[in-house]
Amino acid sequence: MEAQDETTVPKTSKSRCKNCGEKLSKRGKFCPGCGQRDFDGRIRMRDLLAKFFANITHLDNKFVKMCWHLFVPARVTLNYFEGKIKRYPHPVQFFFIVMFFFLLFFSKQFDQAQVDFTGGDFSLQVTGEQPDSMDQIKKYLSESGLYGAFQHYVNAKKYRAGFETLPQEWQTPVVRQAIDSISRMVDGPWERSAKYVLKMEANPTQTGGPTDSLSMNFGMTVVRILVEDLVNLSPDSIIQKYRYTDWDQKITVRQGIKSLKDPQGLVRQYVGSFGWAILVLIALMALVLRLLYWRRGGYYVEHFIFLMHQQSGAFLLLTLALVVHQFLFKLQAGWLLVIAWIGISMLLAMKRFYQNNWAWTIAKWLVYCALYVLGLIVLFIATLLVVFVVF
């Protein structure tokens, strides 16, 4: 007599779930407590691979439905407050998911960005050397970074200054030419790129001051430091040498040098903090809507959820636009259409959700847009300063 498959053998009333210990029914395949399938300790490779591919390819119906419905102004919010809460993901959780993908594609724009100091054509002529085009300067600065170009610049100066320290009989035109040749081969392109940056940085009001210095800014504070000191001295040594005593001057030197050495790290910090800045802005603008619709009554959280849905839809649209811009075709003027639709969809959403007449809705929408732009600018500047200090 053939042995029966263990999975088809009727379960006794004393069988329990291996996961939570809940009592199983006699013929039940799933636990009534945790929902796990009854398990006898053996797994087939076919079942393991099937579950793996199902988890990889399966899209949560809630997430897809939320993405689709967000493009209809106020639809998700109206459904949410009609009691259809389980139909959609949690608004804050969904917002951070959308912001994650937005910041991911947004940061890619900076990874591919080139250093650009001028909008026009430029050719840098150094005596006895071939001129560099602006594209070449961008290439060299992108390879080494601005701090790396300054290191080459300082090294080249050291090589040439070393000629004067040689014994008198060695200071011949042939030796000088050899040192210049080595310097051009090792440091030449980056040295010329650094010279161009310093030329752009030169203060035309200076008379008799150092021309190979770089300015660093933090708010209204500006410090100017020789390039040789930036490369050769530590931040604390620079602070001591230049006799900086104010807190803002010290922060400018320390954080300025750090950002000069790792500009991409600073950009990542800025991008990463943007999501939290938008969340703060949503909380503040929800208070604005509460004041604008004071007679409507209700709770503050209603306005907050309304804005969470609207902002999620806006950043979802911006994410799709970034994907198209980066992988399909350049949007160019299409960005104006994207921004315009975000503003118009907010107007339509306010009309549907708050149900005022068009005149009052447009007036309150204009107030909201003005305060939103103002708040975004203030928070953006504050975020830049905070990130610069703690970077």
Is the residue at 248 inside a domain? no
Mean pLDDT within 363-382 = 93
Question: pLDDT digit string (tens) for 7-50?
Answer: 444 444 447 777 777 777 766 677 877 767 776 666 667 766 66
| C-alpha–C-alpha distance, residues 225 and 154, integer Å | 14
Q: Which range of residues forms the domain containing residue 144? A: 123-213+222-233
Of 21-35, 98-112, 316-330, give the lowest mean pLDDT range.
21-35
Mean pLDDT within 251-257 = 86
- Per-residue confidence band for 281, with pLDDT thresholds at 50, 70 and 90: very high
Is the residue at 273 inside a domain? yes
What residues does 16 pair with on adjacent strands? 23
Which residue has tokens 């949410």?
80
Q: Do 131 and 103 share a structural domain? A: no
Number of domains in the chain: 3
Q: Do 371 and 285 share a structural domain? A: yes
Closest C-alpha to 306, from 25, 314, 152, 118? 314
Q: Do 308 and 193 share a structural domain? A: no
Three-state secondary-structure class, residue 213:
strand
Does position 215 have pLDDT exceeding 60, yes or no? yes
Is the residue at 241 inside a domain? no
Is the residue at 102 inside a domain? yes
Is the residue at 129 inside a domain? yes
- Per-residue confidence band for 74, with pLDDT thresholds at 50, 70 and 90: very high
Helices (H), the chain: 45-57, 61-69, 75-81, 91-111, 134-165, 173-201, 227-232, 235-241, 247-261, 263-292, 300-323, 334-354, 358-390
Is the residue at 54 inside a domain? no
Report DSSP state, residue 168: G
Question: Of residues 147 and 362, which shows the higher confidence score?
Answer: 362
Is the residue at 88 inside a domain? yes
Provide, rounded to the nearest whole percent, the portion of the chain with pLDDT above 70: 72
Is the residue at 146 inside a domain? yes
- Per-residue confidence band for 306, with pLDDT thresholds at 50, 70 and 90: very high
Q: Do 302 and 269 share a structural domain? A: yes
Q: Do 163 and 100 share a structural domain? A: no
